[in-house]
Amino acid sequence: VSATRLWGWLSPDNPDPLAAAPLAERMLVEALGLSRLLPTPPEPLDERTLPASRLTPNQSAAIAAALAGRPPARDAASRAAAALGQSYPDQLQRRAGRCASPVDGVACPNSHAQLQALIDAAVATGFRVMVVGGATSVVGGLSVAAERRPLVAADLSGLGEIVSFSGEDRTVAAQAGIRVADLERRLSDKGMTLGHFPQSFEAATLGGSIAANGAGQRSDGYGRITDRLLRLRLATPSGEWLTEPVRHSAAGPWLGGLVAGSEGLLGAITEATMAVSPKPEWTFDAGWLFPSFAAAMQAARAAAQTGIGHSMLRISDEVETAFLSRFRQARAGLRRPPWAERIVLALKRAPANPSLLIAGYEGSARFGADAVRALRGLFRRHGGVALGERPGQSWRRSRYEAPHLRESLMARGLGVDTFETAAPWSRLAGVYTAVGAALSRAIGESSGGSPGIVMCHLSHSYPDAACLYFTAVFPRAGDALAQWRAIKRAACEAMVAAGSTISHHHGLGADHAPYAQREKGDASLRLLRALAREIDPKRVMATGASSLL
């Protein structure tokens, strides 16, 4: 786990997107009802505040023996970096130069055998193991509740190779610590794609994506990561677990599927065999304006249920559409939209206070033309005004930028967090209203009179359901953690009460695990606990979601 990520997203050298954008700052001040933004630069890690490593000489020696003589790293920066992901509480700690529960050591296995030996050493000498991939969990996936036994992070950055590739089967087998972006680049050289493009693309790993059951931005076309999953190899406290060799099988339940979303509870994924597709011949992303979010959602449902074959469809609600448009202008130093844009919108009779839908197709040129024609016709019938490819291209250019912006806002006294869920179409409007209202209420009560900014987009859609993704921006209170807890609780309770899932693609971690109990029900949880007991009788595997057991 790179210590450079202690302060910020990917690298501290990334430029601040707000640095030369005074109009954008002004817009935020006005929208949040503040008099000014407060500079709150991050503090360097205060090593004196970290508790000492509790690893015994015997445990350290056992770890070194497992790792071909390499002892675990025990310096403060490594121990803090491995324990902090990208959740809001993690961000607060990182920015304050603190880490309340660092791991006791960081071990870097570079093969399945070494990771298995590390887990065996944990069983034998009494420490726990937490697997760390890209440390991009936004739900406290690395926030392990402290207990008497020391905690060792297994940093999988040394397991970053492609194991095998078959053009004939269209499969790739790769080690679990490979970054999704590296895997994609290497597949691209072979004319193939995995099709997994989370916003954390540059940093998330293949194993972490499977463990958290993630979904990329083109999952409407390629499926979520576990839809591409064929076979897994795991190192567990009971030894190697190799899942079924053929995914397309009726030989009983597919037990490999139990690992999807297991977040390290059932062992460490060391290798995964994935289905890959030819790189698209043709990509098309375009924008439409709808009179309302509700109207756009109807159009999205029709598109998902008609099976047009789009690979991406996202709709910003009216608040997000207006906010992003104004913010983009303000960053470009403009007080209002350029006149050419205004004239075009007037000529097209674009609705006032609209909702922006961006849809894309990715695949063969032959089928793509038909798909795009079908999308265009369908959106027109639902009242959509076509804007052409510019909004789609602009989205493509900026789709990995939001994490950098979050850093900028956090450095100006603001809090930013996202809350995602999924529900059947029949209940989606109700979930949208309930969660949005809960967030606004909690922010209003905890943010010194600021209304905050609460916006939402629909980000993934299926024939039966869709994912709603809320973003909240608010001034940070004195006790920022208590403030966030109140806001997070309000959103989660609203989701559970509305019968929507506590997470569509971020996973459980420490932040969501308490709510999953109600969603999963007693029988399913008993099964999961029995499974974990069988595979890990001494509860050696540790993860943020451990409280589920």
Chain residues that interact with ligand FAD, rule: CB under 6 A: 85-86, 130-138, 141-142, 156, 176, 198-200, 204-205, 207-209, 211-212, 214-217, 263-264, 268-269, 403, 505-507, 543-544
Least gap, CB of 137 to ligand FAD (angstroms): 3
Burial class (CB in 10 A: 0-12, 13-18, 19+), 360: buried
Looking at beta carbons only, is 131 or 387 nearer to ligand FAD? 131
What is the three-class DSSP state of 60? helix
Residues forming a β-bridge with 388:
287
Least gap, CB of 118 to ligand FAD (angstroms): 13
Q: Are 109 and 64 in contact (CB under 8 A)?
A: no
Q: Looking at beta carbons, which residue is closest to ligand FAD?
A: 208
Looking at beta carbons only, is 317 or 407 nearer to ligand FAD? 407
Residue 382 neighbours by CB distance under 10 Å:
20
Looking at beta carbons only, is 372 or 548 nearer to ligand FAD? 548
Cα distance from N-terminal residue to C-terminal residue, the chain = 27
**Strand duo 229-236 + 268-275: pairing:** antiparallel
**Strand duo 105-107 + 151-155: pairing:** parallel
Looking at beta carbons only, is 264 or 368 nearer to ligand FAD? 264
Looking at beta carbons only, is 138 or 423 nearer to ligand FAD? 138
Q: Name the residue among 143, 121, 117, 120 with its Cα closest to residue 130.
A: 143
Q: Name the residue among 548, 515, 513 with its Cα closest to residue 529.
A: 548
Least gap, CB of 423 to ligand FAD (angstroms): 18
The DSSP secondary-structure symbol of 252 reads: S
Least gap, CB of 85 to ligand FAD (angstroms): 5
Least gap, CB of 197 to ligand FAD (angstroms): 8
Report how far residue 70's alpha carbon sits from residue 206's, in angstroms, rounded to the nearest whole number: 25
Least gap, CB of 35 to ligand FAD (angstroms): 30
What is the three-class DSSP state of 220? helix
Least gap, CB of 209 to ligand FAD (angstroms): 4
Looking at beta carbons only, is 59 or 137 nearer to ligand FAD? 137
Q: Which residues contact 339 (CB under 8 A, 6 or more apart)?
A: none
Least gap, CB of 26 to ligand FAD (angstroms): 26
Looking at beta carbons only, is 133 or 237 nearer to ligand FAD? 133
Q: Are 421 and 467 in contact (CB under 8 A)?
A: yes
Looking at beta carbons only, is 60 or 217 nearer to ligand FAD? 217
Q: Name the residue among 432, 149, 161, 354 with its Cα closest to residue 272.
A: 161
What is the three-class DSSP state of 273? strand
